[in-house]
Amino acid sequence: MKTTRSVVLVAPRKVEMREFPFPEVARDALLVEVEAVGVCGGDARFYAGQTFGPEHPGEFPVILGHETVGRVKDMGEDATESMVIHGGPLKEGDRIVWYPLIPCERCHYCTLQPQSKHLCQNPWVYGWINCERPENRPWIYGGYGEHVYIRPGTHIWKLPPTITLEEAVILDTLVSVRGVERALTPYPNLGEGLGLASTVLVQGDGPVGMCAAAKARLLGANLVIMIGKHWNRLEHAKDFGADFAFNISESDQRIVAKEVFKLTGGLGVDVIVDCTGEPSSLTQGLDMLKRGGTFIEIGCILHKGTVEIDPALQLTAKDLWLIGQYYAPPQQYERDLRLLSSKRMPFHRMLSCRFKLTEAEEALKAHLSRKWLKLMIQPNK
Least separation in angstroms between residue 111's CB and Zn ion is 8
Q: Name the strand (E) or helix (H) holding 259.
A: helix 253-263
> What are residue 273's phi and psi, to 5 degrees?
-115, 115
Where does this chain touch Zn ion (CB under 5 A) — which range of 32-40, 47-55, 125-133, 275-283? 32-40
Where does this chain touch Zn ion (CB under 5 A) — which range of 49-57, 117-125, 159-167, 280-288? 117-125
First to last CA, the chain: 22
Using CB under 5 A as the binding rule, the residues of this chain from 156 to 175 that contact Zn ion are 172
**Quick one: which of 7, 39, 110, 213 contacts Zn ion (CB under 5 A)?**
110
Residues 6+ apart with CB under 8 A from 365: none
Least separation in angstroms between residue 134's CB and Zn ion is 24
Whichever of 172 and 192 has its CB closer to Zn ion, that residue is 172
Question: Between the CA of residue 255 and those of 202, 249, 258, what are the distances in Å?
Answer: 17, 11, 5
Does 39 participate in binding Zn ion (rule CB under 5 A)? no
Does 34 participate in binding Zn ion (rule CB under 5 A)? no
Least separation in angstroms between residue 101's CB and Zn ion is 9
Does 40 participate in binding Zn ion (rule CB under 5 A)? yes
Burial 160-197 (b: 16+ CB within 10 A, else e): eeebeebbbbbbbbbbbbbbbbebeeeebeeebbbbee
Does 120 participate in binding Zn ion (rule CB under 5 A)? yes
How far out from the chain centre does Cα 266 lie? Answer: 33
Where does this chain touch Zn ion (CB under 5 A) — which range of 20-28, 33-41, 273-281, 285-293? 33-41
Whichever of 56 and 258 has its CB closer to Zn ion, that residue is 56
Q: How far apart are CA 109 and CA 96, in angstroms?
A: 27
Where does this chain touch Zn ion (CB under 5 A) — which range of 88-96, 104-112, 318-326, 328-336? 104-112
Q: How far apart are CA 61 and CA 308, in angstroms?
A: 35
Q: How many residues bind Zn ion (CB under 5 A)?
A: 7
Where does this chain touch Zn ion (CB under 5 A) — which range of 3-11, 56-64, 115-123, 304-312? 115-123
Does 125 participate in binding Zn ion (rule CB under 5 A)? no
Whichever of 104 and 322 has its CB closer to Zn ion, that residue is 104
Long-range contacts of 258-264 (CB under 8 A, 24+ apart): 260/201, 260/225, 260/227, 260/288, 261/288, 263/199, 263/223, 263/225, 264/199, 264/223, 264/290
Q: How far apart are CA 169 and CA 162, in angstroms?
A: 14
Using CB under 5 A as the binding rule, the residues of this chain from 171 to 200 that contact Zn ion are 172
**Quick one: which of 48, 84, 107, 129 contacts Zn ion (CB under 5 A)?**
107
**Quick one: which of 84, 104, 129, 322 contacts Zn ion (CB under 5 A)?**
104
- Amino acid found at 310: D
Neighbours of 293 (CB within 10 A): 28
Does 301 participate in binding Zn ion (rule CB under 5 A)? no
Least separation in angstroms between residue 122's CB and Zn ion is 6
Query: Which parts of this chain interact with Zn ion (CB under 5 A)?
Result: 40, 103-104, 107, 110, 120, 172
